Structure 1
Amino acid sequence: MIKLENAMKLIKTRIQLLDETLGGGLPDKSVILMLGEPGSGNDILTQQIMYQHALKEGKVAYFTTFRPPEITTEDFKTFGWDVSRLKADHWTFIDIHTSKALQILQKEISMRIGQGCWTVIDSLSYILLTQKHNLVLNMVESLLDNARKHGGIHFLLLTQGMHDPQTEITMQHLADGVIELIAQKTARGTSRRIRIKNMRKTVYAQKLIPFNITKNGIVVETAVRIA
């Protein structure tokens, strides 16, 4: 078998079935768009991956917009994730709930990623609603450039249904990967699934991954469906 010398490094999410679907994990140097309607769990999955990364001595810079760091910290505790117990340089909240959000992001993104941080922008939807569209595109392009230069995994949270189709498709086109979380009401409750819509730099399986939201966060089921 021929070994590819320049094969992209894959980084495990530590969610086994998700890693298997991705062919081993998320590609390094990637910006991932996390799609989902309110309550779908796209934020929880992102936070879980990042918290596990910080527990393993990784660094995280978490940018908050409409929800302040104090509230986000309390949300984490719902699942037993206590960021206050992490080393100071392993988890940093940056509150960008301000009219100068993009200016702060442009400066902080370059610095934080250069320091080896993985990043989260929670949420891109809020920024799109409050900032000029072309300036948001410039910020996303800067994030992509820094990710490719310095590496790491970087998440953008986007709420489905809040934007026109062109805006949503544009963001999907720019991102290195798109993960969609789907929640549908059924007679038995809520059916939840993870779908990999796109992931550059890796070969991924076309599967719908069933999952539940538990007191420990996202827990995937063993059965999968063909997407």
Structure 2
Amino acid sequence: MKLVKTGILPLDTQLGGGMPAGSVVSVFEEPGAGADVLSYHFTVEGAKQGENVFYLATDDSSEEIREYINLYFDLDEAVWENITLLSLNTSVLSEEGEKDAKDFLKKTIYDPIGGIKTILSHEEFERVVFNNFTYFLVNYPIEDVISLIDVLSNYAKKNQSVVMLLVTKGMFDSRTETTLKHYSDGVIELTLREVENEVQRRLKVVKFKGILVPKAILRYELTDKGIKMESVMRVL
């Protein structure tokens, strides 16, 4: 079975080498837990290996995402050539329109789900990131969201890719959250906990098809190099 590395060595070790190819992985985070930084590690790991990566941003401009990634990794232009950035942020459409290499990328902003399906039908990506999938849960009926996940799942299996969906915890009722977890192949939760005089961040793998799910909860910090995760497991 092909495994796709996350770019965070202790996490890959706990997963038995990485995430199974052909998976849709939902990352549920409490605000501030750093799911975006996890997605940067995942993106950069693929791009540095010469893989084709598609990164969809719903809240930030493509230029902002590029700046955020470079803040931690400072990639050279050759690596950026492997990353296709697309923003659905309408406020930056005019300034970004000329920068997009493909015409159908520009049209996606008016019909996000239709545009994404078009992009995926034209391109083969080893890694796909939605930052943030909450956008679709807010703006579309749950039936449309499930249909999109089905498309992403078929795409991942066909291309032996991993699709990562970032989701903000606590914004939806438990039924919606459970539905999304049900249709995902893998589920990871990032949480914050205040302990004495510091904030601790923790990662828990809830489920993963195709591999043994680690029972430990992993602690990590956000640093100038991205996520620094303890290599020793903690069973909490």
| TM-score of the two chains, using structure 1 as the length reference | 0.89
CA distance in structure 2 between the partners assigned to 1:192 and 1:87 by the alignment? 29
- 1:95 deviation in Å? 2.1
SS in 2 for 1:226: coil
Give the total of aligned pairs.
217
Equivalent position amino acid for 1:212 in 2: E
1:106 matched to which residue of 2?
Answer: 117
* 2:167 is equivalent to residue 158 of structure 1: yes
| TM-score of the two chains, using structure 2 as the length reference | 0.86
- 1:12 deviation in Å? 2.4
- CA RMSD, Structure 1 to Structure 2 (Å): 1.7
* 2:67 is equivalent to residue 74 of structure 1: yes
Query: In the TM superposition, what are the counterparts of 1:78-227 in structure 2 within 5 Å?
Result: 78-82=71-75, 84-88=77-81, 90-97=82-89, 98-112=109-123, 115-227=124-236
Check 1:139–1:59 CA distance in 2 against 1; reply closer, same or farther (3 A cut): same
User: After the TM superposition, which segments of 4 or more aligned residues of structure 1 sit over 6 Å from their partners?
Assistant: none
| Identity over aligned pairs, percent | 27
- 1:85 deviation in Å? 4.8
Unmatched segments (≥5 aa) in structure 1: 1-7
2:99 matched to which residue of 1?
Answer: none
SS in 2 for 1:223: coil
Equivalent position amino acid for 2:4 in 1: I
* 2:38 is equivalent to residue 45 of structure 1: yes
Check 1:117–1:223 CA distance in 2 against 1; reply closer, same or farther (3 A cut): closer
Equivalent position amino acid for 2:79 in 1: L
Alpha-carbon contact 1:105-1:139 (below 8 Å) kept: no
- 1:215 deviation in Å? 0.3
